[in-house]
Structure 1
Amino acid sequence: MLGGCGSAVLAAAFPELGIGLLGVSLAFGLTVLTMAYAIGHISGCHLNPAVSVGLWVGGRFPASQLLPYVVAQVSGAMAAGAVLYVIASGAPGFEVAKGFASNGYGAHSPGGYSLTAALVTEVVMIMFFLLVILGATDKRAPAGFAPLAIGLKLTLIRPISIPVTNTSVNPARSTGVALFVGDWAVAQLWLFWLAPIVGAVLGATIHRAVLAKE
């Protein structure tokens, strides 16, 4: 929320020094990469409810811990959204109605993409994200490099999907900003819970059925 959405809200189009789409993409990827090294050994660095569900489906995470993790993820995203709102609202002319990095489709898609396009984009992007996560953390993969692969994959996802949905692939990230925008952002939030979870389950199922075999 702070690394990625903060960059999108505060720096993407900053006068003359805006970091643009590629800069925002890199900010999201670097956030996950650095946090994976910081807390991966403690919690596995689950920052995303869909990833936690996917890891459960992939046999890497116990069902008993799903609810506590999801509560923590969404609570953290909401807290970060509040911090970002306080910072962003300190600038003259700030209007949360402009989107506040919320995800959307149709009239609220950055490129005006349809619901179907948004659904397919979110499902496919996180499906491949789960394949990378499960592959990079497999016991047969080189040790210590998983955060790099995961962070770079998240960076790659965004230039493809920002024009379509402003990129969710994370229900907590979507919720953390949508609650401050309200209105259309909350009305469309269902898609950014459903699609990432469906995509994560697909990715985990494919990995478990095809790639996890010895």
Structure 2
Amino acid sequence: MRSKLLAEFLGTFWLVFGGCGSAVLAAAFPDVGIGLLGVSLAFGLTVLTMAYAVGGISGGHFNPAVSVGLAVAGRFRRGDLGPYVAAQVLGAAAAALVLYIVVTGKAGVEIGGFAANGYGEHSPGGYSLVSALVIEIVLTAFFLVIILGSTSAKAPAGFAPIAIGLGLTLIHLISIPVTNTSVNPARSTSQALFVGGWALQQLWLFWVAPIAGAVIGALLWKAMSDERG
């Protein structure tokens, strides 16, 4: 179990450091300006690379909602949920801390939103709580379907990380304007810890919606799959 938890810690660290780091550093740099497409690719690449690197050790969840969804689908022991979620949140928080140290190493810099997730006036596009709730549920549900389908026994072997990474890229392309994209409670928590205030007040949605979406996605997969779990 220790090796699995370390793999989840490192994988979630890389997801937050690479994805949020691209948003906070590269996307904001005037001579680089990677924009929405670049940030979306960065999040997808973090999952793709770490799924290949440590997925064989822990299953490559890197996300509490994914762990819950896999448990509902019968692909993951429910008794391991607590340790996995703890490792994921700690890995995400550690990445946010390192990113904070890097960002604040520049004179006169203010962290601002620090790639945090939000709705209403804190949504990048000004979208409402309802819009945020709906899109986070729907996209996390489809993310689980992608994960479960690409890792099923009938899927081509070895390609799951590519499908999952590209799926997460597409999810970010759709929802960055709405919520700055969560679909991952650990990712949301890590940034909210450093932004504080409004980010912590709105954090509940980015736990409730992704987990609800993950459960829906798992149930949908079970309904159309002949797997027995």
Q: Give the TM-score category using the shorter length.
A: over 0.9
Aligned to 2:175: 161
Correspondence for 2:207: 193
Distance 2:162 2:191 in 1: 26
For 1:20-63, what per-residue CA distance to the aligned partner results, in whole angstroms no more than 9, with x for missing partners? Answer: 00000000000000000000110011100000000000000001
Residue type of the alignment partner of 2:183: V
Provide the identity percentage: 69
In the alignment, which of 87, 93, 101 is matched to residue 102 of structure 2?
87
Per-residue CA deviation, residues 167-213 of structure 1 (Å, 9 max, x unaligned), is 00000000011000000000000000000000000000000111345
Residue 21 of structure 2 aligns to which amino acid in structure 1? G
- Tell me how large the CA RMSD over aligned residues is: 1.0
Aligned match for 1:45, one of 31, 56, 60: 60
5+ long unaligned stretches in structure 1: none
Which of the residues 188, 195, 214 maps onto 1:174? Answer: 188
The count of corresponding residues between Structure 1 and Structure 2 is 213
Given the superposition, is the C-alpha separation of residues 54 and 16 from structure 1 closer, same or farther in structure 2, using an over 3 Å criterion?
same
TM-score, length of structure 2 as denominator length:
0.91
Counterpart position of 1:70: 85
Aligned-partner Cα distance in 2 for 1:212–1:117:
33
Equivalent in the alignment of 1:125: 139
Residue 111 of structure 1: aligned partner: 125
Q: Please say if 1:202 is aligned against 2:202.
A: no
| Structure-2 residue corresponding to 1:138 | 152
Structure 2: stretches of 5+ with no match in the other structure: 1-15
State the AA in 1 paired with 2:63: N
| Distance in 1 of aligned mates of 2:78 and 2:41 | 32
TM-score, normalised with respect to structure 1: 0.98
Q: Where does 1:17-36 land on structure 2 (aligned, <5 Å)?
A: 17-36=32-51
